[in-house]
Amino acid sequence: MPRNPRYDILFEPLRIGPVTAPNRFYQTPHATGMGNMKPNSSAALRATKAEGGWGVVCTEYCSIHPSSDETPYAYLSLWDDEDMQQLEITCAAIHRHGSLAGIELWHGGRHSNNRGTREVSLAPTAVSAKHANPAQVKGMELEDITAFRSWHRDAALRAQQAGFDIIYVYAGHDYLPFQFLSPVSNQRQDEYGGSLENRCRLLRELIEDTRAAVGEHCAVAVRLAIDELHGADGIEAAGEGRQIVEMLAELPDLWDIALGGRLGNDSCSSRFSAQGYQEQYAAIVKSLTSKPVVSVGRFTSPDTMVSQIRRGVQDFIGAARPSIADPFLPNKIAAGREDEIRECIGCNICRSANNEASPLRCTQNPTMGEEWRRGWHPEIINPAKSEASILVVGGGPAGLEAASSLGRRGYQVTLAEASAQLGGRVVDEASLPGLQNWIRVRDYRAYLLSQMSNVEVFLDNRLTAPDIVAFGADAVVVAEGSHWRRDGQGLNLQHPVTIEQSECIHTPDDIFAGAKLSGRVLIYDDEHYVMGGALAEKFLAAGLEVTYLTPQAMISSWTVMTDEQDFIQSKLLGMGIEAVFTQLIDHVDGQELHTRHIYSNNKYRHAFDHLVLVTGRSANSDLFAELDIGATRIGDCLVPSSIADAVYSGHKFAREFDEDPATLLCRRERAVLQQALPPRQNPSRSHP
């Protein structure tokens, strides 16, 4: 199918200093949780982006010196020539597909805990370390600044030698160069502190140093947080953020605009931001410089992309999360297949992987992070090995993914869903405040299924075990999901408690089934992801009086991993929620929840008109237990978990069906053993 001509502007080549990007699709730097410990996995991931049509593909943050160490989190490094040789693999993989390779040189400053290297942490001013209490950081002396500039220059030279085309000066996300810019973190009284011109001095020097070192062959990019979202106390876009760009407007070859002093602002989830939400900030920079500008905004619509470019908001379409959800997004637009884009849902499960110090994963794209380890490709899947017919029971995220991937392989697939619509739990969760984009998990797969002549879908079709046996499929996959527990068992309580069931005690399943609530609603959350907080927001918006009670010390505590927790708690407190922390359910008696404090063991009673238990979930395994024909369980029906894990489970089954088990072993990246040093000689001792 030919490309829609209104998208032609997205495929125009664009000059960035001494290099030229083949199109306007720009994969901005983003973490992978792989870093320098998994160079092959990292290279394969970036190569997939380049193959998918991203004209510029950047790495994650790359440390320039051992004093910028974020153990146990994974990051790249360019401390020496061995690091450079590792990164040559990534550059070659990106260049193989005609894309430019970019690298983000990084020093974390007070964010670097240096737990691995045990180097002294550095910052503009001597303060407490950001994430390594009780440690302090050293306020940099002039010789430290000189050394830092030399480390940055050396790393830039190694990056050029490794083959990178774009080299970043990274002044965003509250890392060291930005710490010099911000009056919040820079309390110096010398030429690097005080006035904005002085606070900009180091950034100016880094740009000039990098250009002098590599600018003849490599583009020099600046990633700048134009507004740290601290209000008048910090840098604001309309004030000093604008002035910084005015001072340095023509020095770099490209401006990459970030937002906020922390990553949760720049990669804000769809629950708290719309597509293109950084437009006003990019537009300010674009109005001040003749150099190309790029910014992110969770772009998935080509019409929104074209609009921003034509209106002069930015020159490139920056993306991290959309390029994770669909590495082939540019090629699909180029081929007139934009209806097949696997759209990012903005759930930030990708961010949770990095925050948990684990390799990248994605709700929409189960192949993400598996490119080298399992050899999975987002657009290529092995053809069917037989003429087997497969019955998939359940049309939730796992069943949809299994059916669509088996269909892509060419198998004859029948999908039976008990309800009147596909989606399972996705339909329910996408109905909650701010989570509407989650329905894309269903819509993408339902569309694929609708295009497959070898797949039949039956709705309102609740199958029994005899029905399944009578159907006679060669293989049966049970994906009937899970249900919320009613016995109080959750993360912090590993056994059931006494709960006298009544019409005023509910689980999320009851809420989605239409249960009517009134008066005082008490939510007991021992699951700690989005459900408890999202239900609280739903009830508050309906005018109910809501108390949120949890054994944890904050609302929706696991969403720290998805960079959402402070947004959630701020919003709910602003809406008037009453929050009770560090109390564990003991039992429910009538319309009173009895709890005990997890530290003091003090006892409490909480009256309610309605109680909503958001605790653990149990697999819907009854149907599977009745079958004796060798069926397979997948997704929540096997182990309740996230939607991302359910999709992955369905995809893994589809990939491995009919395959030789000997070919399915995962590859592992292993540390290289250095040549052993000679044994240490103990000095001889004289004895009296």
- Whether 160 and 166 have beta carbons less than 8 Å apart is answered as no
Q: Which residue blocks in 225-341 are alpha helix, DSSP H?
A: 242-248, 263-266, 279-286, 302-310, 321-325, 329-334
Tokens encoding 538: 């739903």
Residue 503: how many CA atoms within 13 Å on its side-chain side? 5
All residues at 6 or more sequence positions from 443 whose CB lies less than 8 Å from its CB, including other chains: none
Across the strands, what pairs with 176?
none
Distance from C-alpha of 504 to C-alpha of 516, rounded to nearest angstrom:
9
- Whether 40 and 372 have beta carbons less than 8 Å apart is answered as yes
- Whether 343 and 315 have beta carbons less than 8 Å apart is answered as no
- Whether 333 and 314 have beta carbons less than 8 Å apart is answered as no
Distance from C-alpha of 332 to C-alpha of 645, rounded to nearest angstrom:
26
DSSP code at position 415: E
DSSP code at position 237: I
Distance from C-alpha of 525 to C-alpha of 522, rounded to nearest angstrom:
10
Neighbours of 8 (CB within 10 A): 11
* CA dihedral (447, 448, 451, 453) positive or negative: negative
All residues at 6 or more sequence positions from 132 whose CB lies less than 8 Å from its CB, including other chains: 113, 114, 115, 121
Instruction: Write out the E strands in 247-364.
Output: 254-258, 293-295, 316-319
- Residue of 175, 192, 281, 529 with catalytic role: 175
Q: Largest Cα–Cα distance of the chain, in whole Å?
A: 94
All residues at 6 or more sequence positions from 622 whose CB lies less than 8 Å from its CB, including other chains: none
Q: How many helices (H) and strands (E) does the chain have?
A: 22, 28
Question: What are the Cα distances from residue 294, in Å, to 14, 95, 279, 319, 558?
Answer: 12, 21, 10, 9, 31
DSSP labels for 598-626? Answer: TTT--EEEEE-SEEEEE--EEE--HHHHH
Distance from C-alpha of 333 to C-alpha of 11, rounded to nearest angstrom:
10
Tokens encoding 418: 């008990």
Tokens encoding 306: 């074209």
- Whether 60 and 35 have beta carbons less than 8 Å apart is answered as yes
Distance from C-alpha of 627 to C-alpha of 621, rounded to nearest angstrom:
10
Distance from C-alpha of 212 to C-alpha of 207, rounded to nearest angstrom:
9
DSSP code at position 171: E
DSSP labels for 545-560? Answer: EEEEE-SSSSTTGGGG
Q: Distance between the two ends of the chain, CA-based, in angstroms? A: 93
Nearest residue to 14 (alpha-carbon basis) of 92, 99, 97, 77:
99
| H or E element, residue 492 | none
Annotation says 175 is catalytic: yes
- Whether 549 and 583 have beta carbons less than 8 Å apart is answered as yes
Distance from C-alpha of 657 to C-alpha of 385, rounded to nearest angstrom:
9
Neighbours of 200 (CB within 10 A): 20
Distance from C-alpha of 180 to C-alpha of 467, rounded to nearest angstrom:
69
Residue positions annotated with a catalytic role: 175
